[in-house]
Structure 1
């Protein structure tokens, strides 16, 4: 009888352990947003608001430090959550532009490609988690399109979706940056919260696309 009781309680013990293990394995581990990235993101907004009012801030002095910090955090796998990636993308796309032979270029166009990759990854995760509130609140699909357009514009001189504008030195006009109309459709533009091409061309004058 004692042996039967011992076996019974042993079974209960193992069932209890198994139950605990099951619960633990199914417990979601919440990963917190990176506090340093959030701090840099807020500082980025703050200095731009100040510069817009006073025109006294050396933005690149801050931007360069922030970009270098993001590169370090990426190498340490510390850009993890969707907000981390979106904030990092925001910081990276503040990379110095320059005019070279009359064309708009960037000191490091790859930063825009990395920003695009990070924002795309963030969007995919948010869609998987069905976080439509954050997606809509921060216009994330359009941010993804914007980052890719900037990469193309600063690298090849044209864009895909139609989110970028350039200044024409000769006329003083602000023009829609050249669009390679073969790269996407209005259906895809809608997915990324970008106006259809006919609407864009009706609203804005577009700079002619140069030779590829």
Structure 2
């Protein structure tokens, strides 16, 4: 029995480490280049479709793959509907959140802040509230940036886990929108 266990351990540890998916890396690099003002070789929609195809085929296997997929998915498009900014597919933000959580657990340090930012983006567009305070919107009438209402039950210690500044620091930089339908934003 111990020989069998030894043999299994030998096989497992001698297998080559799985390489990061080159196409996911390229899609994430293109996404970031566009945000930095670079040329758009293919649209956000095309990149997102390709990422979803890769995910459906089980292609995102490493922590870096999951990070790269999340980078693309977090940039799902927005549109105005009845004077309000709406996500074209808010569930992509939630999927990005879970991908960033797995990437962070796998040691991708850049995923840390994005765990908070992606759930904030999802909640902002589905509930009108956010947990951590990473999401801002532009007031179309004034041109000022405003924080989407923030859940007061989240502590500054929890924010710090994801490299998000303390609540008072956030509020000193940007005013907060009123909570939707008179709801209080947490605690």
Question: Would you say 1:43 and 2:14 are equivalent positions?
Answer: no
Alignment of 1:8-23 (within 5 A): 23=10
- State how far apart, in whole Å, the 1-side matches of 2:180 and 2:5 are: 67
How many correspondences in the alignment? 181
1:122-146 deviation line (CA, Å, top 9, x unaligned): 11122xxxxxxx51xx2x2111100
Question: Would you say 1:210 and 2:177 are equivalent positions?
Answer: no
1:102-137 deviation line (CA, Å, top 9, x unaligned): 3322010000000001001111122xxxxxxx51xx
- SS of match in other structure, 1:90: helix
- State how far apart, in whole Å, the 2-side matches of 1:209 and 1:122 are: 32
Where does the alignment leave 5 or more consecutive residues of structure 2 unmatched? none
Pick from 171, 174, 191 the counterpart of residue 145 of structure 2: 174
Superposition TM-score, scaled by structure 2 size: 0.86
Q: Would the alpha carbon gap of residues 18 and 206 (structure 1) be closer, same or farther in structure 2, given more than 3 Å must change?
A: closer
Pick from 177, 189, 192 the counterpart of residue 162 of structure 2: 192
Structure of larger gyration radius: 1
Where does the alignment leave 5 or more consecutive residues of structure 1 unmatched? 1-15, 52-56, 127-133
Q: Does the CA-based 8 Å contact 2:79-2:86 persist in structure 1?
A: yes
- State how far apart, in whole Å, the 1-side matches of 2:133 and 2:127 are: 14
Q: Would the alpha carbon gap of residues 22 and 92 (structure 1) be closer, same or farther in structure 2, given more than 3 Å must change?
A: closer
- State how far apart, in whole Å, the 2-side matches of 1:190 and 1:17 are: 46
Superposition TM-score, scaled by structure 1 size: 0.76
**1:156: which partner in 2?**
127
- State how far apart, in whole Å, the 1-side matches of 2:47 and 2:6 are: 47
Higher helix share: 1
Q: Does the CA-based 8 Å contact 2:30-2:40 persist in structure 1?
A: no
- State how far apart, in whole Å, the 1-side matches of 2:6 and 2:152 are: 58
Q: Cα RMSD (Å) of the superposition?
A: 2.4
Q: Would the alpha carbon gap of residues 19 and 164 (structure 1) be closer, same or farther in structure 2, given more than 3 Å must change?
A: closer
